[in-house]
Amino acid sequence: MSVPQHHPGKVMDIYTGTDKSVVSAGSGTQAMVRMWDGHTLVINVDSRLKTRLRVGDIILVDYYPSDKFERPVPKILITKILRGDKARKIANEYKSYFRRTRKMRPRQEGPAEQVHERYIG
């Protein structure tokens, strides 16, 4: 059993089946999220939060392994919305951490220096 992990991100857009510019096969809600490490993902929103989520919210994504699978597979589900001082505090802490760790990475020369976004699908 591993320790629960939640990763913060910022909501950039929201996709619902009731939006006139979205054709949906279901009633689920997804959000485009810029994660703390710079990756942009579209993530399912817990059904209890779908009416309360707003663009610009700082959220926590549940990466704890789901018990639906034999091997550990993270849930990847938005389970918390942070606002006010709590949102600012976590956003600032992760930005600071990202800057510190980025400076510690060794500089690479040549074509490997070009960093490409990883596609997760």
Burial 23-53 (b: 16+ CB within 10 A, else e): eeeeeebbbbbebbeeeebebebeeebbeeb
State the average pLDDT for the chain: 85
- Does the pLDDT value for residue 14 go beyond 60? yes
| Mean pLDDT of all residues in 33-41 | 91
Q: Are 6 and 62 in contact (CB under 8 A)?
A: yes
pLDDT in tens, 45-73: 999 999 999 999 999 999 887 777 778 88
pLDDT in tens, 15-32: 998 889 999 998 899 999
Higher per-residue confidence, 114 vs 12: 12
The pLDDT value recorded for residue 1 is: 46
* Among the ranges given (8-12, 37-41, 57-61, 84-88), the one the predictor scored with the smallest mean pLDDT: 37-41
The pLDDT value recorded for residue 110 is: 56
The domain 6-105 belongs to what CATH superfamily?
Answer: Nucleic acid-binding proteins (2.40.50.140)
pLDDT tier for residue 107 given thresholds of 50, 70 and 90: low
The pLDDT value recorded for residue 62 is: 93
| Boundaries of every domain in the chain | 6-105
Q: What is the number of alpha carbons within 13 Å of residue 82 lying toward its C-beta? A: 17
